[in-house]
Structure formats: C-alpha cells, structure tokens
C-alpha cells in the first residue's frame, strides 16, 4: 500500500515542524507549505534540508492560505505530483494583537483571513475527494485562547473559537463517508515565539499552568498524530485541549 499523503500548512515553525516529523513517523508522505516570497523560500529550503538531513523526507511548496485560488492550485499540484490528499492539518496562523478600542480594521481582517478563512480555503479543496474515496483526516489547529478568550486578542480568539463551529459542522458532513474532522487547542508551548515573552511575564504564565511547565511542540504533534491515525475513525467533531490543565472545559 502506498503512503497516505498528508499536507501541513504553516509547517516551518516549531509546532509545524514537530507535526511534520510525527506524520512522517506515522508513515505519511508529508507535503509542507510555506509563505510565498524569496526570503520565505530560502528559509523553507533551509528547513527542508535540515529535516531531510535528520531523516525526515518532506516536500515543501509555497502557499498563501488566504487566497482561495492559490489553495486550489496548491492542491492540484500536490495531487498531480504526489497523489490524492488523505490528511490535512490546518496549522497556519498569525497574531496581530491590540485591545478592541485600539484595533484597526486591517488588524481584524488580516487575522480573520489567515486563521479562519484559510480553513474554508483548504478544506473546500480536499473534502469532496476525501468523501468520494471513503477516507480523510482533517485536523484544525485552534488555541487555548479560543476557548477562554484573551485580553488584546479579540481578533485571534474569534478566529480560534470559530474553528470549533466549522470543525463540528464538516465533521457531521463527513461522518458517514469515513472523513473525520477535529480540532487541537494548544496551550502555551515552548517555541521561540513564546520564549520572546519577558522573563517575568513568562514565569507568571508558567505559574498558572497546573503541570508546572510549558508544553513541548511534540505534545501537540502527538495529539495530531492520534487524530490522523487510520484507526481514529470513531473520533470526530471534537476538540483536544493540550494545555497542561491551564483551562479545563
């Protein structure tokens, strides 16, 4: 049996890298996406070389997840060069924080387009084919702050909360077709971005996590691997919170 094809968007960051490795270990052929642009392409090529050098053979292609046509072309390229997509992990996301009274419309729309519209843009391209073939695994990456909200992140929290409704709805549409859709909501994870937080602030964050530490990217990757497993067909329409007990719903 040939390897199942898995796509991970926003793949070159700390979480995306761990997800790609977990999917390769799961026996998938992984195609990662990165932002278009010369500098982004150079960084992506370096990332791919590092991954391949560590024994993780991945392909990587440019993709603007906010562009519906670009997503269509991306999926067509993957299907032409590798095969039909069986697994989709929607990981691409950004922040652009401000209190609501200071938030510009552009800040709102930019985050909505990247974090939420991308879910439709990508799922719309692969969902029908998954249903026709009788197998599909979709995992949408949400956030702790989509569950509980966060000061200065009304745009980000709205997108991450919106992912739950979208995921549950398409889970119902795919349930009898062998297609599952689930969300994963990471808490505070030990990535370079989180480590940029001032030390005193970070210490306060960690003090509020019952397990007493930041999560590791591999903690999120294991959750993704569980939900994308061939044997996970009875798990759909759910959200898996991986936050060290910081928020218990």
The residues assigned a catalytic role are 156
Q: Rounded CA gap, 197 and 24, in Å?
A: 31
**Residue 89 DSSP label:** E
65 close to 115: Cβ distance less than 8 angstroms: no
Neighbours of 184 (CB within 10 A): 26
Tell me the DSSP string of 127-157.
HHHHHHHT-EEEEEE--HHHHH--TT-HHHH
**Six-digit token string for 26:** 């799961």
Return the exposure string of 48-78: e unless at least 16 CB atoms fall within 10 Å of the residue's CB, then b: beebeeeebebbbbebbbbbbeebeebbeeb
Residue 248's contacts (CB-CB under 8 Å, 6 or more residues apart) are 241
Provide DSSP, 200-239. HHHHHHHHTSTTSS-B-HHHHHHHHHHHHSTT-TT--S-E
């Amino acid at each position: 049996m040939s390897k199942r094809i898995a796509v991970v968007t926003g793949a070159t960051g700390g979480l995306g890298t761990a997800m790609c490795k977990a999917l390769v270990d799961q026996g998938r052929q992984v195609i990662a996406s990165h932002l278009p642009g010369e500098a982004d392409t150079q960084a992506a090529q370096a990332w791919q070389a590092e991954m391949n050098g560590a024994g993780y053979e991945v392909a990587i292609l440019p993709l603007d997840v906010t562009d519906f046509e670009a997503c269509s072309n991306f999926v067509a390229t993957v299907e032409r060069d590798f095969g039909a997509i069986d697994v989709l992990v929607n990981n691409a996301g950004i922040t652009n924080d401000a209190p609501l009274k200071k938030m510009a419309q552009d800040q709102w729309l930019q985050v909505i387009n990247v974090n939420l519209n991308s879910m439709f843009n990508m799922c719309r391209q692969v969902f029908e084919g998954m249903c026709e073939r009788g197998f599909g695994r979709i995992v949408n990456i949400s956030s702790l702050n989509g569950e509980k909200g966060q000061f200065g992140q009304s745009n980000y929290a709205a997108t991450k909360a919106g992912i739950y409704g979208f995921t549950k709805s398409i889970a119902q549409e795919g349930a009898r077709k062998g297609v599952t859709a689930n969300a994963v909501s990471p808490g505070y994870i030990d990535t370079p971005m989180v480590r940029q937080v001032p030390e005193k602030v970070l210490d306060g964050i960690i003090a509020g996590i019952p397990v007493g530490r930041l999560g590791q990217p591999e903690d999120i990757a294991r959750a993704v691997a569980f939900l994308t497993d061939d044997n996970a067909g009875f798990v759909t329409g759910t959200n898996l919170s991986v936050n060290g007990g910081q928020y218990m719903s």
